[in-house]
Structure 1
């Protein structure tokens, strides 16, 4: 007996759940504990991310003498990533979606609160998702002002950078919270069965986990995400182009250290900007395709969870590797000491 997505949706619409359950009865149970595999890998990624971001925070405080103007925005991103990793380590990366049944299956805080904390968790998760996109253009605008004018943003430029981002952030978080509604009674029952036959032992959260398909206004969420992504990348690409164009005009007069700093920050920001395409867009697609009641594929959802939490790890590694003062200090224990020589106003390493 085969059951296609279209047939499953039609059965749901007609409330013919018995046929779906009969199909699930014929499916073999997995011979491994996917919950433990997911939790172990998630905990490993988050632990490494927390450690590297803590190291990066120390480096920002102690090794930023040549990065005085830009260290504020680097520190903000570092603290943000640390909090997100610590949060994901405790709760999981998607507590407000159908896939949340995977991520918080053994979280005692949720159970003892009689699941009322789910509304708070959905809001927090929405803040992290929207914030991941909003940080990108802020970093590019901050960098542009520093290398263009020699100082961190102040006055009207600072307000112009932060206030629109804050308004979009609050609006996006609000839309995300209202569109992540709870599942209908029929969907809860169906999801419970699907989770059982996919080998999950604990399914309590399946009765209260939110789902996109329970709301017709999912389109509002979809448009909001696409809008924020478009705005963020449009601003980032434009600012990066303006900065590169400006830098080419004055590159001859820049000393070696300034050039190294500029290029390091440029590479780090570009990689950090591309990261969410893999760690946010791809998981969204996977969850939409394989996280519904009719097409629930655990490994696709588990992989989505790992991708989401990996963004903080990628940001920490990228920042430490590409920004010279941090890279030099971080790797000095594994390399021989370098000698810095000043020649005609330029700094060289031999």
Structure 2
């Protein structure tokens, strides 16, 4: 396993410290208790993040893949023979294609590869395994469209990282070739939240155990939290899979991600773990240098594996 420690700068840490003290941000991000309020808060954050992002040479178009709403990001200088499947975050409850756009546009521009962002079904209207099924449906559609598995990278952020990392197990159960290349950005790993960092990073992360418990409870029943397709920590890991994990050292999910990385390494996957100093959950959506660095790291890693460089 390769482990990289990436320093954040003073501006990055100052920005995050400001968010932790910002009562207005907390009221939008972590305080809402109703689904409507959570989704409204995410919409506000997505609008602000998309407005702050730099203009990229990427064309965004709406599409539908096997009945699932999607957005396709096409770089002006890209190669259409490869594709990145992007699965947004939002705790299985509050995500959106607008939220996906915050990271997906940057990935497409830097990797110079088209990105297909999937608007999978969410709880509480559609509980587990709806999101898992939709992720597989879009992946299957890419295969049917002529993409070979080695020409697809699956990237997921937060809850989307959970879906990405369970996709190989999911595909194998349906006799489909597993995606050989996967990225989890701040991924949700253990839906029982058993890692030690849920305690030692409490107060240093914008995400909280209360938030996690609320959204996980909306997503599935307690008895289902250990299902291999619900929690990557229990999913079958395909030998030889290239896996990139990106996580901030102040994330409450840090220990879960590290535990998964070691499990995947033991299963003989090719694991790279990027640890971003002092960063909280979902930091790649912030308009700060280390977020740009992290997305560039992901984009370059995707391109290197797609083009075997």
Please say whether Structure 1 and Structure 2 have the same fold, judged by a TM-score greater than 0.5: no
Structure label with greater radius of gyration:
1
Which gives a bigger RCO, structure 1 or 2 (Cα 8 Å, sep 6+)? Answer: 1
Structure with a larger share of its residues in strand: 2
Question: Which one has the bigger helix percentage?
Answer: 1
Q: TM-score, normalised by structure 1?
A: 0.29
